[in-house]
């Protein structure tokens, strides 16, 4: 198992004892990390990002939703969903690698959200992401509603240009609503194209189903160059061929990729705790395989998990699924960076 180039810094971080971490002064009651993701070391300013491969960041806001609120509690629930103690040891049975031992990772806490001022929260998320990218790290954002993709796409364009990255997007909804749509979580990908932050030819969406977007929205998507795969396509062809095709397209379009996962891409049987549930979605098994495969085959520059809403989450299974989506993504990143081939047996 290969060690990161900055192994000494990583060893020092991992040697710190596990503890409930202090947060930034004045954070909202629903913000602040409490226990960090996987009990990672907490970084509270850009100096803590030096040498990091991955920076986990919370975006606890839900002013952008169209139906049920509660995703402001998502980052904390995801972090707490699966605490296995410290030091973290999480070898992937499928990939034969432990991301906590091969990647230098920190938890960058939560952005300082401003209740009822989504534009302010977006601006602060954009600024925090810029700090992460300036440090050469990959951002892993815990949402929060999917409007967080707007500042993410903006930050990525600032760093690499609108044509310098591709997007693989797992979701029930395309989030390409008209720009005057009252709920910002339903329009970030159209907004990014209109604002010049995303080349529409560079995005592929997986898992669309239900009754929205409407035909006019799909026509706009065709004209903008979007590609998508509905659940009907997945049922007919299988999750494997669809994801492989998405990977091939993303790789062809740009040297780096933003992976964004709306938890409502899962069927409500697996993720009841979300704002706009839609029957007929992916199983947890399918989604975990998909993100693990995407992360191990594409060079991710950013990732997020959005729309986990704890108030509607029976037995915490949605937060658990969100936590594991992040873990499988980290395992895929670790494998790709190690240069090792995947293996099936446990290490």
CA atoms within 13 A on the CB side of 100: 20
Round the average pLDDT of the chain to a whole number and report it: 90
Say what the pTM is.
0.90
Q: What is the pLDDT of residues 135-183, one digit of tens each?
A: 999 999 999 999 999 999 999 999 999 999 999 999 999 999 988 776 7
**What are the distances in angstroms from CA 95 to CA 91, 159, 175, 247, 281?**
8, 31, 32, 18, 25
Which homologous superfamily does the CATH classification assign to the domain defined by 7-338? Ureohydrolase domain (3.40.800.10)
Over residues 1-44, the pLDDT tens digits come to 344 444 445 554 444 444 444 566 677 767 766 788 998 999 98
CA distances from 298 to 1, 23, 62, 269, 333 (A): 20, 33, 30, 29, 8
Tokens 């795969």 correspond to what residue? 229
Query: Is the distance from CB of 149 to CB of 309 less than 8 angstroms?
Result: no
**Domain residue extents for the chain:** 7-338
Residue 318 contacts residue 263 (beta carbons within 8 Å): yes
Cα distance between residue 308 and residue 305, in whole Å: 8
């Amino acid at each position: 198992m290969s060690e990161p180039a900055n192994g000494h810094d990583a060893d020092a971080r991992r040697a710190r004892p596990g503890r409930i971490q202090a947060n930034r002064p004045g954070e909202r009651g629903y913000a602040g990390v409490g226990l960090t993701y996987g009990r990672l070391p907490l970084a509270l300013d850009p100096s803590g990002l030096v040498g990091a491969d991955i920076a986990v960041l919370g975006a606890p806001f839900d002013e952008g939703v169209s139906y049920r609120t509660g995703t402001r509690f998502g980052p904390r629930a995801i972090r707490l969903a699966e605490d296995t103690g410290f030091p973290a040891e999480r070898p992937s049975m499928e990939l034969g690698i432990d991301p906590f031992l091969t990647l230098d990772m920190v938890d960058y806490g939560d952005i300082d959200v401003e209740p009822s001022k989504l534009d302010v929260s977006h601006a602060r998320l954009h600024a925090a992401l810029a700090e992460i990218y300036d440090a050469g790290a990959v951002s892993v954002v815990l949402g929060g509603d999917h409007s967080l993709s707007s500042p993410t796409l903006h930050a990525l364009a600032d760093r690499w240009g609108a044509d310098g990255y591709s997007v693989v997007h797992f979701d029930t909804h395309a989030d390409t609503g008209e720009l005057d749509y009252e709920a910002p979580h339903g329009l970030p990908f159209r907004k990014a194209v209109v604002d010049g932050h995303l080349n529409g030819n560079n995005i592929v969406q997986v898992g669309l189903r239900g009754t929205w977007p409407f035909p006019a929205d799909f026509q706009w998507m065709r004209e903008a160059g979007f590609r998508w795969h509905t659940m009907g396509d997945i049922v007919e062809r299988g999750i494997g061929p669809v994801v492989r095709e998405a990977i091939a397209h993303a790789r062809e379009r740009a040297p780096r990729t933003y992976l964004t996962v709306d938890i409502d891409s899962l069927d409500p049987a697996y993720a009841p705790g979300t704002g706009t549930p839609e029957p007929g979605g992916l199983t947890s098994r399918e989604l975990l395989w998909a993100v693990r495969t995407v992360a191990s085959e594409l060079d991710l520059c950013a990732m997020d998990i959005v729309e986990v809403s704890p108030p509607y989450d029976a037995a915490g299974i949605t937060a658990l699924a969100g936590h594991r989506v992040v873990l499988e993504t980290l395992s895929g990143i670790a494998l790709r960076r190690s240069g090792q081939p995947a293996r099936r047996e446990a290490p």
